[in-house]
Structure 1
Amino acid sequence: MAELGERQNLEPLILPRMDNRVRSFGAAAVCLLLILLIPVAALMAGSAGVAPDFTARLVPPDWAHWFGTDQMGRDMFARTAKALTTSLWVGLFASACSVLIAVVMVLVSAASGRWMDALVSLAIDATIGLPHLVLLILICFALGGGPFAVTLALALTHWPRLARILRAEVMQIKQADYIISARHFGKSWAAIAVGHVLPQLVPQMLVGFVLMVPHAILHEASLTFLGFGLEPTSPAIGVMLADSMRYLTAGKWWLGLFPGLCLLLFVLCFDAVGNGLRLIFDPRTAQT
């Protein structure tokens, strides 16, 4: 009877938590589906959004053109889908490279002595202390712009915060009993870092990767908007927003509204997916 009463007292606390997890998982699944639909929509659009049609210049939104057309008659819906696809690939590649850089640096610091750990910590603090957007602009300007320059600039500037999180996790893992036992059995720090430490970092790596992608996408759009990113002829959100500045005062509001809203929703979708992954990997919520 006492156990039954205790269970009944816990049910009001557990059920809302379960409802929150179900809603979070549902939102993450829907957002992931929307993210995957963007490249499919861009592929199905074909040449729409790229090929000009001067007979349909600056047409407001209607049933034929959901987002209207731009100054060259290109369909804004198809162009936005292609632009988000470009941003998606740039964000994915840049985030993957940043995660790789962070993991390598943390594992090297874990497998080496204190001097290497101090050097990695100094590199993390120095990179975080630099003005982020200014550093991105300098790298892109030095490399001449384009997708490769933007991807490399994002990869070289987005790793420090994840590296700091992973380094803090490694510092705790190195104090674990099984790590100390492995050292007593004669295993080197390199073997421990690869065989014991790296598997423990996978959840943080996945969540960090997913949450890093929207930051990379926003910075890519910012660089392109300022003229240091992708080429002006390519379908990109930054290019579309920059072009819309010349027509907003003339009442062509759809040129900037729909690409900006789609970029915002795209970023929020990644945030929802990252929140869903956090619920899965967080030991405090995984069992509730």
Structure 2
Amino acid sequence: EGGCSAGEPVPGGVPLRIHAPRPNGLLGGRRALLAGALVALAVLAAAVVAGALSAERASATDFTATNLAPCLEHPFGTDWMGRDMLARTLAGLSTSVVVGAVSAAVSSVIALVLAAASALGGPRDDAVVGWLIDLIMGVPHIVLLILVSYALGRGAAGVCVGVALTHWPSLTRVLRAEIMQLRAQPFMACSRALGVSRARLALTHALPCVLPQYLVGLVLLFPHAILHEASITFLGFGLSPEQPAIGVILSEAMGYLTSGAWWLAVFPGAALLAVVLMFDRVGSALRRLLSVEGVQA
């Protein structure tokens, strides 16, 4: 009559086990995800600001302190021109983050617009977008990047435009498939029957539903942007060697690794890895925060 407590047998002979929900606390559930995302964004912003402030020091040469190993005065060592590698790493991170973030953001917006036009438009729109995807994916990225960057006079603008125009096809396919599944839902059919325009369907129905996939794709575009920026810079069609960037630093360090100057590549590479992981943390946290099946507050 009084019920069964935890661990007490029930008439069927099976003990009843009651699992109390785990309390989230102050930093549990969504609060923990939001706090982690904000901390990562704060660290990224601090790295960008510190890099901008270190730009002048990063280009200062001192030929009396060339190829110094890491020490108290130079925690990241110095290069063959006596430049402080800590300052160059911070300045390079600032440049690479700005170039990668801008180009990845523009490329992801292009992917979202084309995916919505393909899935919510007519057969002709779908055929045009499919032809553009096949055209871009049929040519190696590095070739298109070199052509676009060279045509725009190289530099940061050429790299950003080149990456933005060549890295959207894969994300477009993913977002198009998600919107096509959404299009088959009954509420989408009701909206179309009520005369809702395609633009409003894309903004109010499709965009909120594909936002988690969009964020994941944006995060995955960032390391690709950094990699291809370093590639075309190494070939001489990207950023100038005088401009500090992680791609420039790593490409220059390759010629000095055999002489034992390991710090020229290890510290900038580790810093780049940390930045990429922070972007991944932000994207994962935002995806779970915006997901319908995310954790509860």
TM-score range, shorter chain: 0.7 to 0.9
Q: CA deviation at 1:2?
A: 6.6
Q: Distance in 2 between matches of 1:30 and 1:93?
A: 21
Residue 13 of structure 2 is matched in structure 1 by none
Residue 218 of structure 2 is matched in structure 1 by 209
Aligned with residue 227 of structure 2, among 214, 218, 226: 218
Does 2:88 match 1:85? no
Given that 2:96 and 2:245 are in contact with CA atoms closer than 8 Å, whether structure 1 keeps it comes out as yes
- Using the size of structure 1 for normalisation, the TM-score is 0.85
Does 2:255 match 1:246? yes
Residue 105 of structure 1 is matched in structure 2 by 114
Q: CA deviation at 1:115?
A: 2.0
Residue 50 of structure 2 is matched in structure 1 by 41
Q: CA deviation at 1:154?
A: 0.6
Q: CA deviation at 1:25?
A: 6.3
Residue 8 of structure 1 is matched in structure 2 by 18
Residue 61 of structure 1 is matched in structure 2 by 70
Aligned with residue 275 of structure 1, among 278, 281, 284: 284
Structure 1: which amino acid aligns with 2:237?
F
Q: Distance in 2 between matches of 1:264 and 1:225?
A: 19
Does 2:204 match 1:189? no
Does 2:160 match 1:151? yes
Q: Distance in 2 between matches of 1:66 and 1:22?
A: 36
Q: Distance in 2 between matches of 1:173 and 1:3?
A: 45
Does 2:185 match 1:176? yes
Does 2:103 match 1:94? yes
Given that 2:55 and 2:88 are in contact with CA atoms closer than 8 Å, whether structure 1 keeps it comes out as no
- Using the size of structure 2 for normalisation, the TM-score is 0.83
Deviations 1:208-250 (A, max 9, x none): 3233222212221232233322101110122212222332222
Given that 1:211 and 1:274 are in contact with CA atoms closer than 8 Å, whether structure 2 keeps it comes out as no
Give 1:227-242 correspondences, 5 Å limit. Answer: 227-242=236-251
Residue 121 of structure 1 is matched in structure 2 by 130
Q: Distance in 2 between matches of 1:267 and 1:207?
A: 13
Given that 2:111 and 2:168 are in contact with CA atoms closer than 8 Å, whether structure 1 keeps it comes out as yes
Deviations 1:68-98 (A, max 9, x none): 1112211110111001110111111101211
Given that 2:29 and 2:296 are in contact with CA atoms closer than 8 Å, whether structure 1 keeps it comes out as no
Q: Distance in 1 between matches of 2:116 and 2:108?
A: 12
Q: 1:99 to 1:4 in 2, by over 3 A?
A: farther
Aligned with residue 32 of structure 1, among 18, 36, 41: 41
Rg larger in structure: 2
Root mean square deviation of aligned Cα: 3.0
Note the residue ranges of structure 2 that are not aligned, 5 or more in a row: 8-15
Note the residue ranges of structure 1 that are not aligned, 5 or more in a row: none
- State the secondary structure of the residue aligned to 1:54: coil
Residue 71 of structure 1 is matched in structure 2 by 80
Q: What is the number of equivalent residue pairs in this alignment? A: 285
Q: CA deviation at 1:117?
A: 1.2
- State the secondary structure of the residue aligned to 2:114: helix
Given that 1:67 and 1:254 are in contact with CA atoms closer than 8 Å, whether structure 2 keeps it comes out as yes
Structure 2: which amino acid aligns with 1:104?
V
Deviates more, 1:123-132 or 1:216-225: 123-132
Percentage identity across paired residues of the two chains:
46
Given that 1:136 and 1:153 are in contact with CA atoms closer than 8 Å, whether structure 2 keeps it comes out as yes
Q: CA deviation at 1:252?
A: 1.9
Q: Distance in 2 between matches of 1:46 and 1:129?
A: 39
